[in-house]
Structure formats: C-alpha cells, structure tokens
Amino acid sequence: MSRNAILLVALLLTGPVQAQSSIEDLSRELAPAQKALAVRDFAKAYPAYAAHAGANPLAQFTLGLFEREGWGRDADPVAACAWFAQAAQQQIPAAEQAFGDCLAQGIGRAVDGQAAVQWYRKAGASGVSYALCQAADLYISGKIVARDVAQGLALCTAAAQADSPPGMLKLANYYREGTVVPQNLRLARYWYDQAAQRHNREAQFRLGLMLSEGEGGDANVAQARFWMEHAAMEGYAPAYLPTAILYANATPDPGTGALTPADLAKIYMWNRAARASTPGSVQLAEIDRIERLVLTVMPAQWQPDLDRRVADHISKYPQ
C-alpha cells in the first residue's frame, strides 16, 4: 500500500465523532476504490470514489485529496476545498482539519480566521489533535485572528498532551525559538524528548543538538549522539554531518589513545551520507576536511563495504 493510502486510512478511521460501525459501513462500500488507490491506479480509483460521492463523506474527502495532491490530474485546490467542505459538514475529522486549512488560506473563498479556528477545534475534538496547533499558529501569529499567545500555547499544549508527536514538536519549536512565545529552553527540551521517544525525526535531531550544547539542561554527549544518530538512521539528512562530528569527538580507546574502529567507521559513513545530501559549500568544506582526516587513519580495505552501506541507506531515504 502506498504511503498516501496508509495515511488516508489512518486519518479516516480515527476520531470518536461518528460511531465506529458507521465509519466501517462507509468504508466498506469504498473497498474497490481504496484497493485501486493503494496501488496508485488513479484512473480507476477516482471514478470509483466519485460514484459514491453523493452520500458518502469518506468518498468526498478522498476526492478532495485527489484534487489537492494532483493524483492522476492537475492539482485543483479550489475543487479540493469544495470536497473538504462537504465532508467536514458530515463530521469527517480529517476533512474538518483540511477545511480549516482552506479557510485559513482563503482557497476558493475569502480568508476567515475565526471560522478556520472553529474547524481546527472541531478536528481536534474529533481526534486530529495536531489541528489544535494549527489553531494555535493563528492565535500566536495574530495575522488573521486577534493575537492571543496564551490561548495559542494552551491549544498546542493540549495537542501535545493528547500524544501528538507533531504537536509536541511544534510546541517545542515555539519554546526554543522564543520569538512571540517567551523562550523556555527547559520546556523545549522536554517536549523534544517526548516527541523523540515517539520516533519524530526532527525532534530527535533537535534534542541531540540541545543535549550536545547543554541547552535546557545539562550537556550529555552520549545521549546527544544516541538521538542524533537515531534521526540519521531514519533518513533525516540534517543529522548526518552532526552525527559524524559527534563520533569524531568520541572518547578515544584508553588502550590505544585512538578512536575505536567502530567509531572511525561511523565517522566515515555519516560523513559520506552528508556529502550525498548536502548542497551547501560551507558544509561541503567541512565534509572534505573530515574525510581527509579519516582516510589518513582508516584502512583502505574498509571503504568498499562502508560505501555500499552508505549507498543502501541513501537509496532507502532519497532526498
């Protein structure tokens, strides 16, 4: 099944608004359409959903995704928002969130910040917790609704406390950046940690940085490397070079006074991964410097196997 189809199923079958039996009934008649979508047979899937769009809000929402994402057709945001509006009125949680986006961005209609907040709140109450952070964004930025930082923080905190990793990340970013929201590095580190434990790659990266630099608490280089490498292993490219650097600064083997073979191999591999995904000339200069140093001490016969591992990783997580 494609990633989009997986997300679709996950979004539509969550949220307590409709009885589970009702959701199952709505989904059952769409089984052939969902099967076609799962294999990205858009030409077959679209008419199969359209055949049920008169009365099935799951079909309406999915047609909105077709139009928004451009699945097998040119993207049409206005048409997408029309479908999302229909599905939202019938209490499909993901459609409530998507319709909030339409209102916040003024797609096919005038911008309406208050209505967007209301739909985000409905989606949040229906189980799409991150929608509360989207409402928070509107309050905190103060661009299309009156600025209310306290209410915004309360909403995004509610999303984080509802076990939403993106909500945790968003809340941590607010506290780390300290622009409109007062900076609080301790809380930033706490929420990055919570999101990192739930496999959010960016949170793992941010937590690694804070741990390495002693922001929001004591420095802990071992933990910093642990979380930074987790982000790297999950294909989060900004973590590649910092992971190589953290291994380069590892404690030498007390017996030899040199880095262990395992650490040396990790420096080489993550540095090579960084080279494959880094366009910046400043970073490339640092990558070149690290590689030259590693190659002066690493046995040349290691390179073919390590290069193969790097290539396998990059092919798994293309940028």
Q: What is the pTM (predicted TM-score) of this model?
A: 0.89
pLDDT confidence of residue 25: 81
Task: Compute the distance between CA of residue 38 and CA of residue 31 in angstroms, rounded to an integer.
Answer: 10
- Tell me the percentage of the chain whose pLDDT exceeds 70: 93
Question: Is 214 a residue whose pLDDT tops 70?
Answer: yes
Delimit the CATH 1.25.40.10 region(s) of the chain. Answer: 1-127, 129-234
CA angle 164, 170, 173 (to 5 degrees): 145
Higher pLDDT residue, 294 or 278? 294
Give yes or no for residue 156 having a pLDDT over 80: yes
CB 109 within 8 A of CB 102: yes
Q: Is the pLDDT of residue 2 over 50?
A: no
In contact, 58 and 92? CB cutoff 8 Å? yes
- At residue 16, does pLDDT exceed 80? no
At 282 the pLDDT is 80
Query: CATH says 129-234 is which class?
Result: mainly alpha
Which tens digits make up the pLDDT trace of 30-54? 999 999 999 999 999 999 999 999 9
Question: Out of 3.30.565.10, 3.90.25.10, 1.25.40.10, 1.50.10.150, which CATH number does the structure's domain 1-127 have?
Answer: 1.25.40.10
Instruction: Flag whether pLDDT at 11 surpasses 80.
Output: no
